[in-house]
Amino acid sequence: MNTRVTQAPPSNWRQVAARYLALTKPRIVLLAAFCALIGMLLAAGSGVPWRVLVFGLAGISLLAGAGFAFNCLIERGIDARMARTRGRPMPRGEVGTAGALVFATALGTTGAILLYRFANPLTMWLTLATFVGYAFVYTVLLKPSTPQNIVIGGASGAMPPVLGWAAVSGEIGAPALALFLIIFLWTPPHFWSLALYRIEDYRRSGLPMLPVTHGPEFTRRSILGYTLALFVAALLPYLIGASGLFYLGCAVVLGAVFVGYAWRLWRAYTDALARRTFAYSIFHLSALFGALLVDHYLR
């Protein structure tokens, strides 16, 4: 299979802007910003200062986008070998290496300046560490070398609520760590359900994803184990007094449905079920943090 990056024809500025925006994986950035917002609101209690709210979220989002852009730059060859990713701007030759590098650097620098100026140095350094952890430690070191890449690298993806909390309070609190644990445990079943029905893609990529290295059955058992642990972890905000009964009820229902999906994956796997599990995992996290937001204003 030909995996060379192709050269795209000239485009107008709107098309160019859309291609650069695609490098940042905007839907994931929005989810990260939402999780950071929850951290801010829980830390503030009454209200978040508008400068911290606006520029703090902007800084966190820009550095997240920079990390994704660096990921696209580093993995452009791998992306070209996978059906799921070969339509991205870099494998298609729509964005060049130099352009992606300058773009990602500009985003990251701007984000760091905003956090230092309008939040606090702790938030800036934590967000920079998250950026380095994702863009380099995970993408360069972990992803191509260990089937536990998703588990270890999930620490970077779990940071947004901690960053939001730190932006408001200037420290790291127990509720933020509880939210970190929730996202950390959510990450493996989320990605492994995708990897199960994209297993041939990952074989072609050469990446040691768990279904390729340990087989689908082991992966399905692992998904069930992490989903059960996630169910328990999702109760922590209530148990430590950071949320009320509304959140608790939502967490139990959402978690029970996720466990149900994981159980069915283990006992009666189909690709269609894995796709539904992957889609539900996204809904689960969004709805869980949405319930936290509603609960915050009900208390």
CB contact at 8 A, 180 and 162: yes
The mean pLDDT of 12-30, rounded to a whole number, is 92
CA 184 to chain centre: 10
**Distance separating alpha carbons of residues 102 and 110, to the nearest angstrom:** 12
CB contact at 8 A, 21 and 95: no
Task: Please give the structure tokens belonging to residue 64.
Answer: 């997240």
Structure confidence by residue, pLDDT tens digits, 151-186: 888 899 999 999 999 999 999 999 999 999 999 999
CB contact at 8 A, 181 and 236: yes
Query: Residue for token digits 């996630």?
Result: 230
Task: Please give the structure tokens belonging to residue 89.
Answer: 């701007």
User: Among candidates 74, 160, 66, which has minimal Cα distance to 112?
Assistant: 66
Query: Residue for token digits 């967000």?
Result: 127
Structure confidence by residue, pLDDT tens digits, 92-102: 999 999 999 99
Per residue in 212-238, is it b (16+ CB within 10 Å) or e — as a string?
A: beeebeebbebbbebbbbbbebbbbbb
**Distance separating alpha carbons of residues 94 and 10, to the nearest angstrom:** 9
CB contact at 8 A, 243 and 295: yes
- Helix and strand numbers, DSSP H then E, in the chain: 16, 0
Q: pLDDT confidence of 47, banded at 50, 70, 90? A: confident
Structure confidence by residue, pLDDT tens digits, 227-284: 999 999 999 999 999 999 999 999 999 999 999 999 999 999 999 999 999 999 999 9
Checking if the pLDDT of 23 tops 90, the result is yes
**Distance separating alpha carbons of residues 185 and 182, to the nearest angstrom:** 5
> For residue 49, which phi and psi values (nearest 5 degrees)?
-55, 135
pLDDT averaged over every residue in the chain: 92
pTM of the predicted model, to two decimals? 0.90
Between CA 131 and CA 253, with CA 191 as vertex, the angle to 5 degrees is: 110
